Chains A and B, each alone.
Chain A
Amino acid sequence: MTEAPRFLRPVTTPSADVGMAVTFEAPLPLDCGRELAPFTVAYMTYGTLNADKSNAVLICHALTGDQFVASDHPLTGKPGWWITMVGPGKPIDTDRFFVICSNVIGGCMGSTGPAEVDPSDGNPWGLNFPVVTIPDMVRAQKRLVEHLGIDKLLAVVGGSMGGMQALQWAASYPDCVRAVVPIACAARHSAQNIAFHEVGRQAIMADPDWQGGEYLLHNTKPAKGLAVARMAAHITYVSEMALQRKFGRALQNRDAKSFQFTPDFQIESYLHHQGASFVDRFDANSYLYITRAMDYFDLAEEHGGQLSDVFRLNSARFCIVAFTSDWLFPPVENKRIAHALNAVAAQVSFVEIKSDKGHDAFLLDEPEMFATVRGFLNHAAQDLS
């Protein structure tokens, strides 16, 4: 049942671990009313599951992340996206914990998504793929966790969209998770968040090579549109101060302004690079689907807007981490979750880390974040033994 995942693009780093994939025949019910059957979840694991299966930590990735959290990416050859957080001796210590990370449903790194083949007609799904939500992603992860024989996770950890999934885990499966670590996230996507995503989606769809979403059939790729989407999004991941410090008004490889529209400023060429390298590893339709899933996220919606009610009688412990300069998911949104948990007497800690690196801080070297996560997980594991 478990095999190696198929990737849309050929593996360029043959030495890298490509991970595993499991295909479930039983349908996955989706929030939109449709279901996916069969569906595949591609994943990586690190460390060893202990005898009583109590040391499993699920890591949830962000919008453009994947399952390669702590090992080289087989397509790009780059180190894992959270190598500072996850690994032997790291805050999420793979010498102690069994770490699982899976590609989300709707993604493009081996899990079922719009770039995969629709079994009904043998063509890529494209826009025929159902719109998926954060709860759908978590539902698929739950199937994977069950497949691995785990009843209860020690922890679910994630930043940004990964944090949304961590919160959703606590809401959907309160008895299956002991500790929850949502980092730099929110219980709902704000109007501003949705607005930025819509800019990205419109950039993709405005690219003639998008071909109404059927570019894979036409052997084209909306590279320009996807690159613009990434450029716009990237601005939201960093703080104004960090951009100013890193680039200021410095010119790129020239002494004077060119009086043309080629990139004069370093910040322009940096964004171009961000866009260009992104299109090599990411599927444009996946970007549409996953941004949509984030837009639809509103944990309190089912509870008449009462976030506290989501967590009533929840026995999990929570550690919420925010960064002061994150304007995409500002501390106040993170704190809202802490207050909601407090209101129902859940076990919650909240840490607001001083950083000028913006939203991306959660992926970067932030010693206070590492200390917080390490201390919290150590204690969660300790209370168990």
Chain B
Amino acid sequence: MSELRPDLAAIAAMIRPGARVLDVGCGDGALLEHLKTKNVDGRGIEISQANVNACVARGLAVVQGDADTDLVDYPAQVFDAVILSQTIQATEKPRAVLDHLLRIGRRVAISLPNFGYWKVRLSLLAGGRMPRTNTLDYSWWATPNIHLCTLADFVDLTRECGATIVEAHALNDNGTTAKMNPASLTHGYLGPNLFAQGGVFLLKKS
């Protein structure tokens, strides 16, 4: 098995063995397949047909669908954990999506890119153009990432949604992760909001 993307590895570490998990935007199923080794009962939602086929051929239970429109059909609290990796910034209504995730799962594990990362800030400040980084490598007119935010912004949204941050990790650009104190994200100038390329959060409804 190939190595998991760092944010997925961080999410995998948050999932208890034997848990029932829904991976929203599960891609080619790499995380769900990895979670099988922890006896996790995993399900996925994925928008791309090629990815769904890859998942089905892996023996994963994946439904072709769209986080923006299909989460409404899932009953409340049926999953121990719901995962949303590197996807919230591409949804049409991030707030509604997060509300649904918190309704469907007892825990929500979520990873996202940090638009407050210093390289992004510098690129806009110094270059005067929309930033393009390793994790956000799109022209502004072609990007699927229509709702980018900083980690501090995201923490604000979790409050709006009535969620508590159980765990938070910074994703560094060398591929490592480091535990962060969510309180350090309440102001946006310094700390992980400046130095982390992305973040991984474990949330629960307060």
Task: Mark each residue of chain B from 19 to 45: 1 if its CB lies under 8 Å from any CB of chain A, else 0.
Answer: 010000000000000000000010100
Complex: A371 Cα to B55 Cα, angstroms: 11
Number of interface residues of B (CB under 8 A): 21
B53-64 near A? 1/0 per residue, CB < 8 Å: 101111111111
Whole-angstrom distance between the alpha carbons of A172 and B130 in the complex? 58
Partner of B53, one of A345, A371, A382, A383: A371
Q: Which residues of B contact A317 (CB under 8 A)?
A: 61
Task: Give complex CA distance A380, B52 in Å.
Answer: 16
B166 within 8 A of A: no
Interface residue range, chain A: 20 to 34
- Is B74's CB under 8 angstroms from A343's CB? yes
Q: Which of B53, B55, B63 contacts A368 (CB 8 A)?
A: B53
- Contact check, B78 vs A343: say whether CB atoms are below 8 A apart: yes
The answer to whether A351 touches B53, judged by C-beta atoms less than 8 angstroms apart, is yes
Q: How far is the CB of B29 from chain A (nearest CB, A)?
A: 11
B75 contacts the other chain (CB 8 A)? yes
Which of A343, A347, A350, A374 has its CB near the most chain B CB atoms (within 10 A)? Answer: A350
| Contact, CB under 8 Å: A351 / B64 | yes
Specify which chain B residues have a CB less than 8 angstroms from the CB of A372 in the assembled complex: 52-53, 56
Q: Is A353 positioned at the interface, with any CB of B under 8 Å from its CB? A: yes
Q: B32 → chain A, closest Cβ, in Å?
A: 12
A339-B56 in contact (CB<8A): no
Closest B residue to A324 by CB, please name it. Answer: B49
Known A338-B63, A342-B63, A349-B61: A376·B20 in contact at CB below 8 Å:
no
When the two chains form their complex, are residues A342 and B59 in contact, meaning their CB atoms are under 8 A apart? no
Identify the closest chain A residue to B43 (Cβ): A342
Given contact pairs A350-B64, A351-B52, A376-B57, a sample of 16 additional A-B residue pairs in the complex whose CB atoms are under 8 Å apart? A342-B63, A342-B73, A343-B74, A343-B78, A349-B56, A349-B61, A351-B49, A368-B49, A368-B53, A371-B57, A372-B52, A372-B56, A375-B53, A376-B56, A379-B59, A382-B59
Q: Can you report 14 residue pairs joining A to B where beta carbons are below 8 Å apart?
A: A317-B61, A342-B74, A345-B20, A345-B41, A345-B78, A348-B61, A349-B60, A350-B62, A350-B65, A351-B56, A352-B49, A372-B52, A379-B57, A379-B59
